[in-house]
Amino acid sequence: MKLDPKICRNPFVVSWLALMVAASPVWAATPGKADQAAVHPAKWPAARSPIGLDKATEAKITAMLAQMSVEQKVGQIIQPEWKTIKPEEVIQYHIGSIENGGGAVPGGNKHATVKDWVDLIEPYYQASVAPGQKVTIPLIWASDAVHGHNNVYGATLFPHNIGLGAANDPELIRRIGEVTAAEVRSTGMDWTFAPTIAVARDDRWGRTYESYSEDPRIASTYAAAMVAGIQGTGADFLGPNHVIATAKHFLGDGSTDGGRDQGDSTVSETDLARLHGAPYVDAINTGTQSVMASFNSWQGVKLHANKGLLTGVLKGRMGFDGFIMGDWLAHGQIPGCTNSDCSQAFNAGLDIYNQPQDWKLLYANLLRDVKNGTIPMARLDDAVRRILRVKFRMGVFDQPSPANRPATFQPIGTPQHRAIAREAVAKSMVLLKNNGVLPLKPGATVLIAGNGADNIAMQSGGWTLSWQGADNSNNDFPGATSIYEGLKAQIEAKGGQALFSPDATAPQKPDVAIVVFGETPYAEFMGDQSDVALHYGNTESLALLKSLKAQGIPVVAVLLSGRPLYLNPHINAADAFVAAWLPGSEGAGVADVLVGDKDFQGRLSFSWPKRPDQTPLNVGDVNYDPQFAYGFGLSYAQPAQTAQLPEVASTTKYGEKNVYFSKGTVWNGYGVTLSDNDNHRMDYVGTQTTLYGTAALTVSPQDDASLRAVWNGKTQASLSVGAEAPSDIAREANGAMVLSMTLRVNAAPTKEVRLGVGSASVPVTAWLAEASSAYRVLSVPLSCFTSQDLSATPTVMQLTTEGALDISIQDIRLGETKPGAACPTQ
């Protein structure tokens, strides 16, 4: 409950409140909610790891625990990111594991080699085993190898999970797990934060592509197959070519209301268990050693604080004997916690804190909590026992250092590995429509068009070389094949000709055209949407399809996307339509089916919508009415004609969540406001607007889709972007994101200019100091504004000056941090 500070200052109200709280502890505890979120482990399915406890190992661990200091134990339960820790601090703080987050590549160089990675890791490991310690515990290293070893230059990139789900081939999944593990091992690492076994139920969720299926059956079968592939089984369990797997994110990450990333799930306990818990049973039954707790809440309680689910269900009912890894600063979202102070999560059952930033403070606070009994020693011992158990199972106590292991430096991105990825691509392709144009006829002249045709970044999606995967180009992917390159090779091999033209302006009329288009890369909450429409490139791609059609050219549309999308106008405009998902580095797999060397085998593992607002949409729904049902997919063996599909006229302005202003439009319910110190306030509604009274600021739309803002220099005025409901950008600020503005300075400022978010601001005068004819990108880390709570921010951008200034703004959004982004000081 939030109290209005004015009410609090009233002594009568304060004493009344105190009375209520004191006299009515039941009211204070909001019993309704607590009851609702109660967990009943006995109602959940049981599981049983095939590994079992080894008596001798457990005895060794008992002996080690007896010798370890509290400091040493606390060090094991904290995981920093390498960027914030020096090797010598590993020994000083007894750190047990380190991660590299998405894009945290050695030296900030995304072309870093395998050797660069091993050189990065080795000193940290060496520090952990430095002589002179009473108990020596080698450090382990984790990375998000979520579609292959995707942070590493030259690695094999597999289709994202949504495409693998369509392939519905568990044996293939096991082989993908094996190859991924081998490539992770090559770089000297021990552990991957994969597989994601979420069952995504609302495709507005930005992580839908990380989910195998909306149906727990595929997710469960795959959970087992992927864990088996990554970790190995039987005598090969955690053998030299395998690494620790992480089933994530426990629990209900795919069940949040509105598909909001890190949001709240209000499903019943029965559905939570049946739909979302099921894959964990299979992951545990195959021996997964790590489970990552989720950012989301269930019925209002954050998973990181949910003892009933973490301890009662996962460790109790499901008998999970490995460790629970935290997600990126997720414990800090628990009410009453901060990123560096949160015994609640640990007491709920978390075993390792994910603290990539201020881990030293967390270390100090945890030591305090153990010493004063807030964290019971038994709980600490339990967590450390689990960590040591997994380290023993992994063999880290007997292995040579990362640089000296047999699997290290084994080649990555090999033809054998890529062949498996190519097979997966071909199998993941779903044919939604084919009115006779596919397969391509041998000898045909084929025009290949669309912004996705020769775009390996777009076909790979998020979690590729960087977290968002948004800033890559083809030369970042040695050994990879774009869809165009794959098609060209195979069309020519069959005596045909491939013409390449992204905008379809070929000099000669082709026999057939292929248009590759779709979503551009995103990860996590950056991909959340308010609907299941295609945002950017929707109009352009449709125009392309229609213009080819108008010229009498048969068209094949190939969609790159991380979720099913309402695209009936596109499907109608094309003669064939293929959902290619996010295939990864082996574009040749797309050609394999389009030229007819292989038949389509993919079947929808997600229901396909009829309308942009038709979500959630899942197989088994009452009144289930999809455009293409779960399990749908045509093939050459079973062809069918598709009639025109119903089109929905829509006036909604679709926008990406963290885009505020772009292409001349204010998105997502945000608005632009002009204000001054005399309490004048006006909304910009798309036409030239001058602040009444002082005329201190004028804003007008420009032909290049920018917004021109001119301050007259007579009195202080602000240009702001905000929404009616305050914005929650706390998570974005935590995740090191930046406020990024593409702007041009027409006339330099005459006085200080401040850029604000909420109530905090920084000067940007120096950055604006020179007028020029070019647009530049101003990137300011959101962390520059975290002196306040950013979970309810009225303004997400505010430019203020008392002086004169003339700028044109083309784009305002939140983006991924670029190296070198710092808080401006002048």
Residue ranges that bind ligand BGC, judged by CB under 6 A: 101-104, 144, 193, 248, 327-328, 467, 524, 735-736
Helices (H), 37-193: 55-67, 70-76, 87-93, 114-128, 161-167, 170-186
Least distance (Å) from ligand BGC to the CB of residue 292? 6
- 3-state DSSP assignment of residue 293: strand
Least distance (Å) from ligand BGC to the CB of residue 51? 23
Least distance (Å) from ligand BGC to the CB of residue 339? 13
Please name which of 270, 314, 279 lies closest in space to residue 293, comparing C-alpha atoms.
314
What's the CA gap between 656 and 528, in Å, rounded? Answer: 7
3-state secondary structure 464-485: ECECCCCCCCHHHCCCCECHHH
Measured CA angle at 731 (ends 729, 735), to 5 deg: 115
What's the CA gap between 632 and 430, in Å, rounded? Answer: 8
Task: Fill in the DSSP letter of residue 348.
Answer: H
Q: Which of 261, 369, 423, 524 is catalytic?
A: 524
Nearer to ligand BGC, 149 or 744 (CB): 149
Nearer to ligand BGC, 83 or 371 (CB): 83
Q: Is residue 304 a contact partner of residue 331, using CB atoms and an 8 Å limit?
A: yes
Q: Is residue 672 a contact partner of residue 721, using CB atoms and an 8 Å limit?
A: yes
What's the CA gap between 701 and 689, in Å, rounded? Answer: 9
The residue whose Cβ lies closest to ligand BGC is 101
Q: What is the CA radius of gyration of the chain?
A: 28
What's the CA gap between 613 and 649, in Å, rounded? Answer: 12
Nearer to ligand BGC, 73 or 248 (CB): 248
Least distance (Å) from ligand BGC to the CB of residue 154? 20
Least distance (Å) from ligand BGC to the CB of residue 761? 22
Least distance (Å) from ligand BGC to the CB of residue 144? 5
Please name which of 609, 463, 435, 567 lies closest in space to residue 523, comparing C-alpha atoms.
463
Nearer to ligand BGC, 519 or 816 (CB): 816
Least distance (Å) from ligand BGC to the CB of residue 462? 10
What's the CA gap between 708 and 695, in Å, rounded? Answer: 15
Q: Catalogue the E-assigned strands of 474-604.
A: 497-500, 512-518, 555-560, 576-581
Edge-to-edge strand list for the sheet holding 670-676: 681-684, 670-676, 717-727, 793-801, 753-757, 760-763
Nearer to ligand BGC, 467 or 660 (CB): 467
Least distance (Å) from ligand BGC to the CB of residue 299? 21
What's the CA gap between 427 and 267, in Å, rounded? Answer: 33
Least distance (Å) from ligand BGC to the CB of residue 169? 24
Nearer to ligand BGC, 158 or 193 (CB): 193
Number of neighbours of residue 400 by Cβ within 10 angstroms: 10
Please name which of 795, 712, 774, 701 lies closest in space to residue 749, comparing C-alpha atoms.
712
- Cis peptide before 195, with omega less than 30 degrees from 0? yes
What's the CA gap between 514 and 522, in Å, rounded? Answer: 24
Nearer to ligand BGC, 144 or 575 (CB): 144
State the amino acid at position 424 in one-letter form.
A
Q: Is residue 451 a contact partner of residue 466, using CB atoms and an 8 Å limit?
A: no
Least distance (Å) from ligand BGC to the CB of residue 162? 15
Nearer to ligand BGC, 79 or 568 (CB): 79
Q: Note if 327 is an active site residue.
A: yes
- 730-to-292, 395, 797 alpha-carbon distances in Å: 21, 40, 14
Least distance (Å) from ligand BGC to the CB of residue 585? 20
**Burial environment of residue 128 by CB neighbours within 10 A (0 to 12, 13 to 18, 19 or more):** buried
Least distance (Å) from ligand BGC to the CB of residue 746? 33
Q: Please tell me the total number of residues recorded for the chain in this structure.
A: 826
- Cis peptide before 439, with omega less than 30 degrees from 0? yes
Nearer to ligand BGC, 247 or 506 (CB): 247
Taking the CA atoms of residue 204, residue 205, residue 207 and residue 212 in that order, the dihedral angle to the nearest 10 degrees is -70
Nearer to ligand BGC, 355 or 615 (CB): 355
* Residue that the structure tokens 């507005």 belong to: 204
Q: Which residues contact 193 (CB under 8 A, 6 or more apart)?
A: 99, 142, 143, 144, 145, 146, 246, 248, 292, 325
Nearer to ligand BGC, 146 or 420 (CB): 146
Q: Which of 327, 476, 485, 656 is catalytic?
A: 327
**Burial environment of residue 806 by CB neighbours within 10 A (0 to 12, 13 to 18, 19 or more):** middle
Nearer to ligand BGC, 333 or 810 (CB): 333
Catalytic residues: 327, 524
